Amino acid sequence: MRVLIIYSNHHGDNFNSHLLDRVKAAVSTNGNEFIVRDLYQMNFDPVLRTRDFEMISQGNPPPDIKKEQELIKWADILLFIYPIWWGGMPAILKGYIDRIFSWGFAYKSNGNGPFPLLTDKKAILMNSFGQTRAEYEAGMFSAMDRVNSEGVFGFSGIEVMNQLYFPSIHSVTEETLENYYGEAEKLMLNLDFARA
């Protein structure tokens, strides 16, 4: 399996960075390939500009967009690792989706409305956040699941296979953190589930 890891966290030494290290090791254990796109380290420009629209509509997207689209084409699985901010993804990741998941690449229109073009891709999402699990179980989990599975990735035909949530990230014990890492590792060690 080929895994494109799209990582969105500005801190260099925290839960998400350690999670990324653990996930990379797990993915490569069974001979799977991976590429990491660290959006902050890349200094990725998240702003979708008029010029981008013009070039995309002419079938000639800007080079930075084209490069990411080629990597998405290469991948079987898109793994997104990011903290939840204000009930959603960081702006840099939202901008990545705005720019990269463009018309003609991620979706098209046939006169009867849009239709998806990335139906051969699957996604896994791993999200950390500061609130407790109980606070999010009141409706936030179901809202985020629906936005991601239907509104963001589903719109392009990408099936969200798993969305792992890691709550209370700043206050849990080291044992709980280790359990979080273990949950992520177990998932990535068993990527064959995505072949079905």
Give the CATH number for residue 35. 3.40.50.360
- pLDDT at site 12: 80
Domain span including residue 170: 2-195
In the predicted model, what is the mean pLDDT of residues 94-101? Answer: 96
pLDDT tens digits for range 50-77: 999 999 999 999 999 999 999 999 999 9
Query: Nearest CA to 195 among 170, 150, 161, 163?
Result: 161
Indicate whether 18 pLDDT > 90.
yes
Q: Judge if pTM exceeds 0.85.
A: yes
In the predicted model, what is the mean pLDDT of residues 131-140? Answer: 84
In the predicted model, what is the mean pLDDT of residues 4-14? Answer: 91
Domains identified in the chain, total number = 1
Indicate whether 132 pLDDT > 90.
no
- pLDDT at site 14: 92
Residue 192 and residue 130: Cα distance in Å, rounded?
A: 32
